[in-house]
Structures are given as structure tokens and as C-alpha cells.
């Protein structure tokens, strides 16, 4: 009776190739899934406005994702409009601040280029004013007046710059979500 030779090394090599291919496909598919969940919609507008305002585009995308889910015509219950959810009052204030000769109506906030331009200006202004991203994001959500009062409260802020606790659950959750969005955008697109 003839003995059959088994070719184990060849079988192991084939299995190894299959495993490597499977891992590659899983990683590729996972990254594609994440990129669909964290899109870079309006890339040209966001890149331009982020650059003009000295912002990381990934932070702008993180805010847009949280504020509107990339829906340009959405309006919140509080009356905030568009991609970056600006209120008409904030929009008017920003236009006055930059000395706009002819004021745009709040309806213009549904236009992605207008909304992102003013949203980025507002975010940049808050980052400059507070110097701490987390504090600036609190102000973006809850307003500068509230954040200023929180920073003046020693039970909430020991140093007047950082918020050790965020009194409003909505703002606390908002900041946590934006920060997580920002981490995801950095991981996916800053390679």
C-alpha cells in the first residue's frame, strides 16, 4: 500500500492567505462603513471656511454632524437653522460684527455656503474667546452668557477657563458627542 504524502505547508500557506485577505476585507469594509457614518459632505465649502477661520476641518464636520446630520434645511425647536444650526439672532450679530453692508435674511441660513461661513466664524470666535475647545463647544450650544456665568462659578470652574462640570445635561451630552465625532473624523481622515 502506497503512503499518501500530505502537503501541510502548502495548506497552511493557503489558509494564511485566506486569513490575511479576510482581515483586509473586514478592515476595508469597516472603514467604509465608518466613513459613511462620518461623511465629509460639503467638503469644498468646509475646507475653504475652515482654512479662512483657522479651524480644523474635522472639528467643523464634527459640529455639523451633531448639529444637523448634514441636512441643510433643518430647523431646531429653538429656531436654529441649517448645517451648523445658527439662530437668526446669532446670524444677525455675526453680520453686524463683520460690518456687512447688506444684511442677509435668516432664510439664507439654509444655504450651505452661508451657514458654514458664519458657523465657522462663530466657532472660531468662541475658540479665540475661551481658548479651550470644550468650553467653546459649551458656548456654541448653550450660549456665551451662560458659559460666562458658569466660568464665574467656583463650583463649576476652578480656573475660570475650564468647566469642571457642565450644569446642563443637554450641553454636557452635546459636548461629549461633538468630541467623539471629532475623534472619529481625526482617526478616519487625518492619516
Q: pLDDT value at position 112?
A: 98
Q: What residues contact 122, with CB distance under 8 A and at least 6 apart?
A: 84, 86, 90, 94, 140
CATH topology for the 41-189 domain:
Lysozyme (1.10.530)
Global pTM?
Answer: 0.85
- Is residue 67 part of the annotated active site? The answer reads yes
pLDDT the model gives residue 99: 87
Query: Which member of 31, 48, 67, 92 is catalytic?
Result: 67
pLDDT of residue 9: 62
pLDDT (tens digit per residue) in 1-58: 555 666 666 556 656 555 655 555 455 567 899 999 999 999 999 999 999 999 999 9
Confidence at residue 100, expressed as pLDDT on a 0 to 100 scale: 75
Contact between 24 and 170 (Cβ < 8 Å): no
Cα(180)–Cα(138) distance, rounded to whole angstroms?
A: 14
User: Would you state the pLDDT for residue 3?
Assistant: 58
pLDDT given for residue 113 in this prediction:
98
In sequence order, which ranges of the chain are alpha helices (DSSP H)?
A: 8-37, 43-52, 57-67, 88-97, 112-130, 133-142, 144-151, 169-189
| pLDDT for position 28 | 59
The whole-number pLDDT of residue 23 equals 52
Which pLDDT score, from 0 to 100, does residue 30 have?
A: 72
Mean pLDDT of 144-172: 97
Give the span between the Cα atoms of 40 and 70, in whole angstroms.
9
86-135 tens-digit pLDDT:
999 999 999 999 887 788 999 999 999 999 999 999 999 999 999 999 99
DSSP-assigned states of every residue in 148-180? HHHHT-TTT-SSSSS-SS-S-HHHHHHHHHHHH
When comparing pLDDT for 14 and 178, which is higher?
178
pLDDT at 172 over 80: yes
Amino acid at each position: 500500500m502506497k503512503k499518501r504524502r500530505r502537503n501541510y505547508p502548502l495548506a497552511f500557506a493557503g489558509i494564511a492567505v485566506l486569513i490575511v485577505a479576510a482581515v483586509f476585507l473586514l478592515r476595508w469594509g469597516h472603514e467604509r462603513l465608518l466613513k459613511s457614518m462620518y461623511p465629509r459632505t460639503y467638503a469644498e465649502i468646509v475646507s475653504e471656511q475652515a482654512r479662512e477661520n483657522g479651524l480644523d476641518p474635522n472639528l467643523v464636520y464634527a459640529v455639523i454632524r451633531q448639529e444637523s446630520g448634514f441636512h441643510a434645511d433643518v430647523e431646531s425647536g429653538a429656531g436654529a437653522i441649517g448645517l451648523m444650526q445658527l439662530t437668526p439672532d446669532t446670524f444677525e450679530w455675526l453680520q453686524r460684527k463683520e460690518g456687512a453692508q447688506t444684511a442677509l435674511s435668516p432664510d439664507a441660513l439654509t444655504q450651505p455656503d452661508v451657514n458654514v461661513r458664519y458657523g465657522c466664524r462663530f466657532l472660531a470666535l468662541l475658540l479665540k474667546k475661551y481658548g479651550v475647545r470644550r468650553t467653546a463647544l459649551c458656548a456654541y450650544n448653550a450660549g456665551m452668557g451662560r458659559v460666562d456665568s458658569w466660568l464665574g462659578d467656583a463650583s463649576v470652574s476652578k480656573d475660570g477657563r475650564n468647566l469642571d462640570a457642565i450644569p446642563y445635561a443637554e450641553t454636557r451630552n452635546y459636548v461629549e458627542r461633538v468630541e467623539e465625532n471629532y475623534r472619529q473624523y481625526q482617526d478616519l481622515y487625518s492619516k
